[in-house]
Chains A and B, each alone.
Chain A
Amino acid sequence: MISRNEFLKMGVALPLAMQSLGQRAAAKAKTPPRRIIFINSCLGFYEPYFFPKKRGDLGTSDYLKGMKTLEKMTVFQNLFHPGMDTSNHDSEKSFLTGTPSPEAPNFVNGISLDQVLARKMGGDTRFPFLNFSIYDRGWGCSWNDRGAAIPPMHDEAEIFDLLFKDEDLQATKRRLRNDQTILKNLQRDLAELRRKGSDRGKLESYQKVIAELETQLEHEQFWLNTKKPKVTKSLSEDAAFPFSTKIHNLFELAKLAFQTDSTRVITLSMDWIYGAIKVPGATGGWHSLSHHGGNAGKIAQLSKIEVDTLKHFNRFLVEMDQIKEGNGTLLDHTTVVMGSNFGDSSNHTCNNLPMIVAGGGYRHQAHAVLNGPTPLCNLYLELLHKHGIDAERFGSSKQDMGLLKG
């Protein structure tokens, strides 16, 4: 890696990278960095199997009792997003933003929690954040500050290459330089049009995107001088259960990204389609089965899908917990938030959301049942505070309730 002075000699204004240089040096000396991942299982979990039957005892949850990292987990009960009463599946959009009425025709989403965190935590890594989804549908958990969906990545091989495959440095350098020239000239054109009184809204929206792209190019340029980390390609190629394989791989990529400090903020949208999926023991439409209407046969099938998802989740936690880092493990330095926009997807209700917080070095409480319905954004606000962001509110938050101990 080149020195900071050399880098500055190249004549690039680089607030982000400079900050990151300093912080990287500091980080090396001190404690391991904090990371965070959010996972939304868009069709939720069958409540009676998810929540512990006996208050406080995760051993009485059909789904969770077998998990290996129970002592590093808290299951919250009674969290909800206000304003989702008639939202149906649209509530997926608000999972990380808490913006009410996502079903409304003129709905504009808010910024998602991961994006707020990425502003603070994203500068020091090659990728300020990563967002994944199962299907190519163009939106997942992450929404920018203008409420636009940030298209998630869904192709495992592409994500792997992005994270770990070396690129043609000369060509990339040339491209970055050319793009910077182009952006600079586009800015000139924009300024001239603004002077002439062309559509302000249009110009400003483009201006904003260009400015963001310029920052990204600077960020990329800085990281060009650092080789990408090398890891063994540990993705599963099991074609018998593509859905299951996809989830496994996305978790694996999240783990590798954290382990190599390629990013510190990740979202994973476990989205769905109408068609049938296949997991060990069950074939059927995930969505159709989620509307089980209490039918025992359907619940049995549905639970196979949910168990499979949680199996991969468990594996993710276990492996994160096996990677030593500083005085603890990678899991201890990673806050894992797993949940759903649906409390009960069979009836499309968004109360009592199944929410797990794992890792992160908190003093975990196994099963925390809150007194009455509590905005999920209270927990989100608290997560901002825990990650050094001095926010007064987030989404529909009322207050930081100190739900996470330690």
Chain B
Amino acid sequence: MRFVLGPFTVSLGALLGLCLMAEAKRPPREFAEVAREHFEQYCFDCHDGETKKGEVDLTQLLERAGSDGALVFENLITAKMPPANKQQPKAEERQLMLQWLAQRQKAAAPQSFRRISRHELVHAANDLLGVKLDLTGEIPEDRGTHDFDSDRRVQLTKEMLTAYFTAVDDLLEFALPAKGFEPERVWVTSKLKDSHQSYNIYTRPYEEGILFSWTRANNGNSYSFFYDHFEPPVMGWYELTFDARKLGAFPEDVSLMVFAGKYYYADDRPQPQRLLEVISLGNREMKSHTIRAFLRPGENVSVHCYSKHNFRQRNGKVGAYIKQLKVRGPVHEQWPPRAYREVFAGLPLQVPPREAVSAAVAQTKLQAIGGRITVSSFQKGMEKERMQDGSNRTFWHTRFQPTLAKPPHSVVLENPQVKAIDGLSYATWSGGNGNGQVKAYAIYFSDDGQSWGKPVKAGALEIRLANEQPIIFPKPTTKRFIKFLVTDAYSIDGRSLASIGKLDVMTTLPEPDAKLRVMVDTKSEAALKQVIRRFAERAFASRLTEAELRPYYDVSLAALKEQGDFVAAARLGLKAVLGSHRFLMAPGEHANASYAKAAALSRVLWLSVPDAELLRVASDDQLTGKLLAGQIDRLLSDPKSARMIHSFCDQWLNLREFNKVTPSLKLYPFYDELLNRYLPLETEAYLNHLIQENLPVSRLIDSDFSFLNQRLAQHYGIDGVVGQRMRKVSFGPKVPRGGLLTMGSILKVTADGFDTSPIRRGAWVSQTIAGNTLSPPPENVKAIEPEHGADAATLREQIEQHKNNAACFACHKSIDPYGFALESFDATGQWRTQYRVKLPHRGTFQYRPKGYFKLAGEVDAAGEVGRAKFENVFGLKQILLSQHRKVAYNFAKKFFEYANGYAPSLKQRLDLYAMIPAGAETCRMKDLLRDVMIYSLEGKSE
């Protein structure tokens, strides 16, 4: 058997460095010759054309032009190959083989640049403008199938640039609004929006406010209740203060989950709600709990309460008593807002005074335009005012006692100021027996309230729907009288009745002209140029010449000349800066190498632009060595590094997919939104701690602590954690938590919400955390998705089949064991010893705490990695801990890819591997991260 050399006959020897001194003296060809001998000696026994163990024929593989040898390289460098029971190459022999592989890899050089991601754009623009407005949701995801947002293969498209431009417009309008800021208002409410009275079982009036005592509705939804009398007038930050206390003698806190979203009626289609914040209620005395939240117009604030103690308790006396909600906003941390100081530093500002005003008591639009209502008849206690009081639980009703009012039943709305009316807004009377709810109507107009002519519109209304139902006129009217005639109504006993919960006109009210406009008191071109220069130098992370700034100046100067509005003109220039290739492409254009490094550093560690200090350091072009290391540490210790932690967890550990799947309530009835919120936060807090405290890399695999709160501790079965604040919790050796593998977030994101697939989870953990390199499944394999049936053994048997087929087992020996060990955790990450098998339910799904499942089949979590056997996940962790270099090497590769936007070449991997200390306790997270960062910026240190 002859091993033919590939096409790489360039002068290899010269590139090899000191460790290959002996070889370097020989002609280059001989280096390859030596490498071949090593492969022959250590690999070809099993992997030649005849034996082809695991269907791997290295003689073929290494010759083939298309094969870059990465798999061979990875198996060799992580000492997976040659197997432990075979003869091992000496360290320098292994190194030579690796270098040879690195050398022969056809280095497809990654693209020299990339677009900045939507996250980087939004964070950077926010920092530059001194605002907090998360617009990433409005920009499409463009990462495609690549793991990392920074991937250089992602090309900027026109569509993305359009989205970036739009986001920049929105950010600028938020920071420097053209028409000024909304004044700050204060709302105080203890009133809930209407809901069906049958839902009073979830909440009930209590003292001066509301007691929340039930947590889960029949369909499993977490019912939320919407506060009335507050709607955010503009998007912005609001301060929400809940005066509340806990009712109940149990030690744990009750959780108030505060949501924002579109209002929906309890019976109706749920509208998506955003969880803003969780208030942990442990106080038994009344106390104010304040949160800050970003709200948009059209959103309502709703509250949902959770405690394991008041779970679906009818007429409970435990739960959360909320006396009132006080909202203040939109709030600004400073006045004038920070954006003006950031952008117009040093320029004279005209700042109107700002003080909070109480919000006007809610009134109907009809009242606001001075309108009146008359009705055909009314029942005492159900007068016309009752459909003008903002509630559809109080209502107008036609007379039925002592005598029954005869039809026609109608309501006339008078529009004395003859405003343009677009239509009517109708809401049915909700609750009660439904008598009189309108099924069909006709609309008439009149100038005098006497002659009505033909109906301008007629139609049907939904009686079961408590939401407002709009009745849009064919065209807006300025007629003085509008008649709403009831042509059909529901009646339980056949009598002619009519009732209405709410009726109002639809019209555009003039905006209260009370915007607070901050102005810059200058029209100086020089000042405008200075504004653009300051902003551009920060955004582009470079000092700039006048010539370079000219195009950006010109955008603003032209606008100033034309419109004379300084702020508006500056805004255009800022948009040009934020739309520039110098900002949106990385690397940008930098006046020196240190600026380029500063830009890269802040982009990787903050997802943003450099701050003043970093720019100052870069200006002398001395950002290297100790100074560079020091800046890395400084950036890491800044709170902005939390963005990197979040982003890296999203990408490396795929936590961005965390919310894609909601676990089945039939199998996992206790899974809820509260848990869902905190599971990924545990991972972020943990990783952050490992980095900040510079703990050993092996803590990624195992430790005796994690970051938990009451809800997570409950999920994990750990006692004594009270309150929803995340904190470091230590536990004993019998607790399987600690380390990434056994975190609920990881276990959930690797399952589909129903079952766990040992193969899918195993493959993921093996590659992502343990650092194994696997090839994709071969073509035309009968792929099955194993299922946990009544007989757990079958699943295991199916998977064990892999052992019988060398081709399968080559990879599956590095997949299945991880999957088996983690079978002790269900799809939500809870410990289990038995599988759950779903049971059917009759009719519509009715939530119940015991779920719909039976227990079947014992979990068998045993397996073996190589020759090392383990009984369960504790054993698996021990095996992984013995391979800390592999885990660290994997972490380094992933962070390199995150930072640089491409996977390291084999040569770079050799360098990365060389950074890893041999001792497990000396191999530390922050050190490694810093080394990878420096390597990314400066290459290999000499």
- Residue numbers of A with Cβ under 8 A of B are 85-86, 88, 90, 93, 103, 105-106, 108, 136-139, 144, 146-151, 175, 178-179, 181-182, 185-186, 188-190, 192-193, 198-199, 201-203, 205-206, 209-210, 212-213, 216, 237, 239, 273-276, 284-285, 287-289, 291-293, 295, 346-349
Contacts and interface: CB of A to CB of B under 8 A. Distances in A.
Contacts of B155: 146-148, 205
Given A147-B155, A216-B158, A288 B142 contact: no
B580 A103 contact: no
Nearest to B162: A213
Interface residues of B, number: 63
A276 B661 contact: yes
Nearest to B166: A175
B11 interface: no
Given A136-B140, A182-B579, A86 B158 contact: no
Contact of A206 (B153, B551, B572, B585): B585
A181 B559 CA distance: 10
A93 B144 CA distance: 10
Contact of A189 (B159, B580, B662): B580
A273 B576 CA distance: 38
Nearest to B158: A212
B582 A189 contact: yes
A219 B548 CA distance: 30
Contacts of A103: 776
A144 to B, nearest CB: 6
Contact of B157 (A144, A284, A295): A144
A291 B141 contact: no
Interface in B544-589: 547-548, 550-552, 554-555, 558-559, 572, 575-576, 579-582, 584-585, 589
Interface string B755-781: 100000000000000000000111111
A348 B779 contact: yes
Contacts of A147: 155
A288 B752 contact: yes
Given A139-B145, A201-B111, A347-B783, A186 B754 contact: no
B113 A148 contact: no
Given A182-B579, A189-B548, A285-B752, A209 B158 contact: yes
B517 interface: no
Listed from nearest, the 8 A-B pairs whose CB atoms lie closest are A275-B661, A148-B155, A293-B784, A151-B140, A138-B141, A185-B551, A202-B113, A212-B158
Interface of B: 108, 111-113, 140-145, 153-163, 165, 169, 269-270, 547-548, 550-552, 554-555, 558-559, 572, 575-576, 579-582, 584-585, 589, 660-662, 664, 752-755, 776-785, 903
Contact of B551 (A189, A199, A202): A189
A151 B141 contact: yes
Contacts of A209: 156-158, 161
Contacts of B664: 276
Given A144-B158, A275-B753, A348-B779, 4 more contacts: A138-B141, A186-B576, A274-B660, A288-B752
Contacts of B555: 181-182, 185
Contacts of B550: 188
A347 to B, nearest CB: 6
A178 B38 CA distance: 66
Contacts of B579: 182, 186
26 contacts: A86-B776, A90-B145, A106-B153, A136-B141, A139-B142, A149-B144, A179-B165, A182-B576, A186-B581, A188-B550, A189-B552, A189-B581, A189-B582, A199-B112, A201-B111, A201-B113, A206-B584, A209-B158, A213-B158, A213-B161, A216-B158, A285-B785, A288-B752, A288-B755, A288-B785, A293-B782
Given A138-B142, A347-B783, A275 B752 contact: yes
B273 to A, nearest CB: 14
A86 B776 CA distance: 8
A389 B902 CA distance: 38
Nearest to A181: B555
A201 B152 CA distance: 13
Contacts of B162: 213, 216
A149 to B, nearest CB: 5
Contacts of B784: 291-293, 295
B773 to A, nearest CB: 12
Contacts of B754: 276, 284-285
A182 B532 CA distance: 14
A61 B595 CA distance: 65
A137 B657 CA distance: 10
